[in-house]
A and B are shown apart, each in its own frame.
Chain A
Amino acid sequence: MSKVTVALIGNPNTGKSTLFNALSGLRQHVGNYPGVTVEMSTGRFSHAGTEFEIIDLPGTYSLAPRSPDEMVAVDLLLGRRPENPRPDVILSVVDASNLNRHLYLTTQLMELGIPVVLAVNMIDVAKSQGILVDPVVLARDTGLRVVPIQANRGTGLDELRTALNQAVGAKSPTTGPQLPEPVEAETAALETELKGLIPRFLARRLLLDVGGYTEEWLTTTSRNGLKDHLLAARSRLSEAGLGVPGVEARTRYAWIRTATAKAVTNPPSRMVTWSDRLDKVLTHRLWGTLIFLLVMFIVFQTIFVGAEPVMDLIDDGTSWLVGQVEGNLPVGPFRSLLSDGIIKGVGGVIIFLPQILILFGFIAILEDCGYMARAAFLMDRLMSRCGLSGKSFIPLLSSVACAVPGVMATRVIENRRDRLATIVVAPLMSCSARLPVYSLLIGAFMTDGYPWWVPGLMMFAMYMIGFVTAPLVALVLKRTLLKGAPPLFVMELPAYKRPSLLAIGRRMFGAGWAFLRRAGTFILASMILVWALLYFPDRDANGRYDQRIEALRNEEKDDEANKLRSEWQRDSILGQTGQALEPAFKPLGWDWRIGVATLASFPAREVIVGTLGIIYEKGEVDAGDEEERKKLGETIRADWEKDPMRSKYRIPVALSVMVFFALCCQCASTLAVIRRETKSWSWPAFTFVYMTVLAYIGAFLTFQIGRVIVDLVG
């Protein structure tokens, strides 16, 4: 059986993914392309005795590479990647209603020296708008094999497979647009100067793409002199009236016009489409915004309300399992590892799934139907004030529920710097896991004896800290670390279409599975680590803690059991670390107890309430139980009254704890997805460090300024 490699490429929104899925079905996987942050899937199918491997290249408007990612795709097509085979055929997908613009990319593909098959998709949609495309005439006038298809209905796919088969080994197209002679001459000169380091195609890109990736790459790695020759060449062309980049555009479009003149019939006047009608409302200044806010509200509410019952179920399941383990295994490190480390750890990972699935379901629906681009359009002005673009809005908003799906949702942002900035500030958006801490401390210190509106106001203020800090940090990042030319916002608003359930399902489960596999292992590892740090040493002079605690509980001596438990935690590795670090906590107004609890909650901030419960000898307090929280709050308050400093300044201390939690990234899950999305360890490390520093400074300032205010107010 002969094997053929096909490269699938086209503009975004051409139904390329639908075609890819239709051709390869389940025989697909995400390819391994080192150095690429975008995902490129590879699929397989067979036809007439040939085995095809099809690579789904990212949607693009042209082959002018602007980033390392795009360069990878171009290198792949030129056969310059030793790890990947050069494609035997290029499958260029175009939209029948927008043929002229889509063929721009195709004309560039025709220069690569590989046979090109043109798949004209969405023939039916074009027809309903009165646009008729004659494939036979188009084939004749372009010199390419042309197959009309409807990828979503599966029409034309057999003819497509046959065409691909026939194209293998055929002549590559030579009938494409030719750039004017002087341009080709300058290209040849540059190619010669680079002594064959790059093929003619890249030499052309070097000349034509002002400030493009090819230029950047070559002028920084080659001997000097190249840049000057390049500028001189462009200058000569400009004087001859053939300036870049215009000359390329005019040449290509002129050829395209001629090639489609007879093949495409347009209606006498443009018909108003459904998309036109919908957009009149959806991008309307007033109605569009209101509808957008409504949609956001629905998404948000669904995540909170819809996920909760499932999350409770998972919680119950975890508790049940823990109960089973504790009931059936003897007391000991293994039992504790299993119940407190592994089961709770795995439960802590799985509990994110409902939120991830719901959010990704919505995002898939909004993207598929085309509304996502409108959302970015409406929010762009707001976002650009923070140095970001409209596409960052939904990921940031989602992070208010939970940063884990929020960070994963940044995939919609194509610009690398914008995407990184969004990812790095997403954890600042006050996520719902911070609520238990706020509730505990506000309940303990700012409720009794205060006006009715104080608790609500404080809660609001804590949320605002996140909402205000995130854009500021983004702005600073875009001006410093992630500085660069302001990215272009030019964005296509694709025609609306009915989202495909299959595609949505695929995206949802893809996201969930990816999270489980990659993030899950990291989260589990960190939870086990913390478990170990809190468990060992597991005995003192009087014997093992766990056995003695179990004995005490069996005798119903709960108070003594809780006391011993607290001692155990205090003398554990983490506890001793916390005590040793007490000088570092003093400027924040904290004692070692708060310090240890904070350290313990670095993998997952919601752990703080339970840990505080143990330290203050209340046993393991359930963060979700309001009664238990209240009692814990009272205990903490009583304890602070004993210390003169903390008694006087109890509000600044409480605030400094909350501010720390507001700004610190205490979530292994978030760091894990940041690692996955950025494919490097430096970004999660950076996020963790900057947020911890920010949190420390914030808590410090809060406490110190609070102290001054308390002193002044007397």
Chain B
Amino acid sequence: MTTLNQLRTGQRARIESLAGDAALVQRLYEIGLLEGEEVELLGVAPLGDPIEIRVGNTRLSLRRREAVGVEVEVL
């Protein structure tokens, strides 16, 4: 079971579930992450954190500890 923060740059995956702090999960929903959506890991900041992902046409940056609750299936 892979989580969003474990993806490597350039990898694409489908979101399986969103777990973690309810406020965080709600925020992730509002900003476009949803079960069934496809994400792509675009890159990582110089010191290893945060990460940059793409969902649909939206580019997002989130910290690894925010991404750790997002389960994905690598495509």
**Stretch from A136-144, A282-290, A558-566, A657-665 at the B interface:** A282-290
The residue on A at minimum CB distance from B50 is A380
Contact of B23 among A104, A212, A285, A382 (CB under 8 A): A212
A interface, CB within 8 angstroms of B: 61-62, 64, 66, 97-98, 100-101, 104, 129, 208-212, 244-246, 248-250, 253, 270, 275, 279-280, 283-286, 288-289, 373, 376-378, 380-382, 384, 390, 485, 488-495
Cβ A491 vs Cβ B24 within 8 A: no
28 pairs of residues in contact across A and B, judged by CB atoms under 8 Å: A64-B26, A97-B57, A98-B56, A100-B56, A101-B32, A101-B56, A101-B58, A211-B22, A212-B23, A244-B22, A248-B29, A249-B30, A249-B34, A279-B52, A284-B43, A285-B46, A288-B46, A289-B46, A373-B61, A377-B52, A380-B50, A381-B46, A485-B23, A488-B23, A489-B63, A490-B66, A491-B60, A492-B58
Residues of B within 8 A of A493 (CB): 52, 59-61
Cβ B30 vs Cβ A64 within 8 A: yes
Cβ A380 vs Cβ B29 within 8 A: no
Cβ A492 vs Cβ B31 within 8 A: yes
Contact with A along B26-49 (1 / 0, CB 8 A): 111111101100000011111111
Residues of B within 8 A of A209 (CB): 23, 26
Q: Given that A492-B58, A492-B60, A493-B52 are contacting pairs, would A283 and B24 also be in contact in the complex, using a CB cutoff of 8 Å?
A: no
Cβ A490 vs Cβ B62 within 8 A: yes
Residues of B within 8 A of A491 (CB): 60-62
What's the Cα separation between A488 and B56 when bound, in Å?
21
Tell me the interface secondary structure of chain B in the complex: mixed
What's the Cα separation between A285 and B60 when bound, in Å?
16
B25 within 8 A of partner (CB): yes
Which of B27, B44, B57 is most buried by chain A, counting CB atoms within 10 A of its CB? B57
What's the Cα separation between A279 and B22 when bound, in Å?
31
Count of A-B contacts judged by CB separation below 8 Å: 121
List 10 other contacts, CB 8 Å, given A208-B26, A378-B45: A61-B27, A61-B30, A210-B26, A270-B57, A285-B43, A285-B45, A377-B61, A380-B49, A380-B61, A489-B66
B interface, CB within 8 angstroms of A: 18, 22-32, 34-35, 42-50, 52, 56-63, 66
Cβ A245 vs Cβ B45 within 8 A: no
A487 to chain B, nearest CB (A): 10
Q: Given that A104-B30, A373-B61, A490-B31 are contacting pairs, would A245 and B66 also be in contact in the complex, using a CB cutoff of 8 Å?
A: no
B18 to chain A, nearest CB (A): 7
The residue on B at minimum CB distance from A492 is B60
Residues of B within 8 A of A494 (CB): 59
Closest 5 CB pairs between A and B? A210-B22, A249-B29, A381-B47, A245-B26, A101-B32
Residues of A within 8 A of B61 (CB): 373, 376-377, 380, 489-493
Residues of B within 8 A of A382 (CB): 47
Cβ A381 vs Cβ B52 within 8 A: no
A367 to chain B, nearest CB (A): 16
What's the Cα separation between A271 and B38 when bound, in Å?
15
The residue on A at minimum CB distance from B48 is A381
Cβ A245 vs Cβ B29 within 8 A: yes
What's the Cα separation between A495 and B58 when bound, in Å?
8
Cβ A285 vs Cβ B34 within 8 A: no
What's the Cα separation between A104 and B53 when bound, in Å?
20
Cβ A246 vs Cβ B25 within 8 A: yes
Q: Given that A101-B32, A285-B43, A489-B66 are contacting pairs, would A246 and B18 also be in contact in the complex, using a CB cutoff of 8 Å?
A: yes
Residues of B within 8 A of A279 (CB): 42-43, 52, 59
Cβ B42 vs Cβ A283 within 8 A: yes
The residue on B at minimum CB distance from A212 is B23
What's the Cα separation between A490 and B25 when bound, in Å?
11
Which of B29, B48, B62 is most buried by chain A, counting CB atoms within 10 A of its CB? B29
Contact of B22 among A245, A381, A495 (CB under 8 A): A245
Contact of B31 among A61, A248, A377 (CB under 8 A): A61
What's the Cα separation between A73 and B34 when bound, in Å?
26
Residues of B within 8 A of A384 (CB): 49, 63
Residues of B within 8 A of A100 (CB): 32, 56
What's the Cα separation between A247 and B32 when bound, in Å?
15
What's the Cα separation between A212 and B26 when bound, in Å?
10
Residues of B within 8 A of A289 (CB): 46
B33 to chain A, nearest CB (A): 9
Cβ B45 vs Cβ A98 within 8 A: no
Which of B30, B42, B43, B52 is most buried by chain A, counting CB atoms within 10 A of its CB? B30
What's the Cα separation between A208 and B45 when bound, in Å?
33
Residues of A within 8 A of B49 (CB): 380-381, 384
Residues of A within 8 A of B34 (CB): 249-250, 253
B28 to chain A, nearest CB (A): 7
A392 to chain B, nearest CB (A): 14
Cβ B52 vs Cβ A283 within 8 A: yes
The residue on A at minimum CB distance from B47 is A381
Residues of B within 8 A of A285 (CB): 43-46
The residue on A at minimum CB distance from B9 is A285
The residue on B at minimum CB distance from A64 is B26
Q: Given that A249-B29, A380-B50 are contacting pairs, would A492 and B43 also be in contact in the complex, using a CB cutoff of 8 Å?
A: no
Which of A98, A289, A491 is most buried by chain B, counting CB atoms within 10 A of its CB? A491
Cβ A381 vs Cβ B45 within 8 A: yes
The residue on A at minimum CB distance from B28 is A490
What's the Cα separation between A249 and B35 when bound, in Å?
10
